[in-house]
Amino acid sequence: MCEQLDFNKTDELKDDVRSFYDQVGWTEVGDGLYQNARFEDLRPVSRDYISRCHQRLNRYLPQSGRFLLDAGSGPIQYPEYLEYSGGYLYRLCLDISFTALVEARKRIGDHGLFVVGDIAHLPFKSDVMDGIVSMHTVHHLPPGEHKSAFIEMYRVLMQKGAAVIVYNWGQKSVFGWLSKRSASFLFGLWRFLSRIKRLVVPRSDDAVDDLNNPNSSGTREITYTFTHTYRWAKQTLGNLPGFDVRVWRTFGVSFLRAFIHPRLGGRWFLKIIFTLEERLPGFFGRHGMYPIIVFRKAEK
């Protein structure tokens, strides 16, 4: 049973999310990277796996049309994101953050249309979008508005169109729970051993790579999130035509940073994981950390 929030609290949470992304999350830190990249694994050892996960969305989206709605577009920060709208006349970027849209416009220019808005209350007519993509956005809404966001995306979807949403089960999934617990244990062990080492060999420089250590900065680094379960999605959204759950990615960033390293066969491990995900996309979609939720609007 999800928590209930009054309207004032809901508005406060949305203002909090907007403030975070305007002031922190979409602050560029150089070479097309944003502060929000701290929540992704950008190391070379994981790069191919991450890229192939991004590309998964293309197999569910219509490949062409007039409008692709990017619901919660952010700045379209990764190259693979640009591919989603390659066959569309316009990419309609909607985001609660004005800063995100300014950055998105730098990337796609006249190919984009840009709207400040709320994905739970889309400011568009019904049946106008040929395709919809939404990446890591719905879980920033108050829990009572997750359903509204999905229903709104279905409403604006054109007949024969498809919506593809990357959602987050968090620790409410089997692999999400294992990912978080095992990574926390390993990082805790590493910190303990580091303290022991410093007692023996004092260090004068404890600098770390900010983009690959989310705890290295004193700046505000997180905002509100809430995740539902697969059971909730099935019960709440299962009647949407073409509803399906596929895998986007099984493990979270903390697991990748903790266990995936080039000297320990990290690339091979990720190749094995990707192969398993491809063969069992429904299983890993239900039990992994990040699912792709797909639905389509049938012809009347």
More confident site: 42 or 164: 164
pLDDT tens, residue by residue, 263-285? 989 999 999 999 999 999 999 99
Q: What is the mean pLDDT of residues 243-265?
A: 91
pLDDT tens, residue by residue, 216-232? 433 445 567 889 999 99
Q: What is the distance between the alpha carbons of residues 164 and 245, in angstroms, rounded to a whole number?
A: 10
pLDDT of 94 over the 90 cut: yes
CB-count exposure of residue 165 (10 Å: 0-12, 13-18, 19+): buried
Q: What is the mean pLDDT of residues 81-107?
A: 94
pLDDT tens, residue by residue, 6-16? 545 777 777 67
Cβ contact 238:150 at 8 Å: no
- How confident is the model at residue 181, as a pLDDT? 72
pLDDT tens, residue by residue, 189-200? 666 566 665 554
| In the chain, where the domains are located | 7-173+218-296
Edge-to-edge strands, sheet with 244-249 = 112-116, 88-95, 65-71, 129-135, 157-166, 290-296, 244-249
- The closest alpha carbon to 145, from 2, 300, 290, belongs to 2
- The closest alpha carbon to 91, from 110, 74, 117, 77, belongs to 110
Single-letter amino acid, residue 181: R
Q: What is the mean pLDDT of residues 288-297?
A: 95
* Cβ neighbours for 95, distance < 8 A, ≥ 6 positions apart: 21, 72, 73, 74, 101, 104, 116, 117
- How confident is the model at residue 182, as a pLDDT? 75
Superfamily of domain 7-173+218-296 in CATH is Vaccinia Virus protein VP39 (3.40.50.150)
For residue 295, the cross-strand partners are: 163
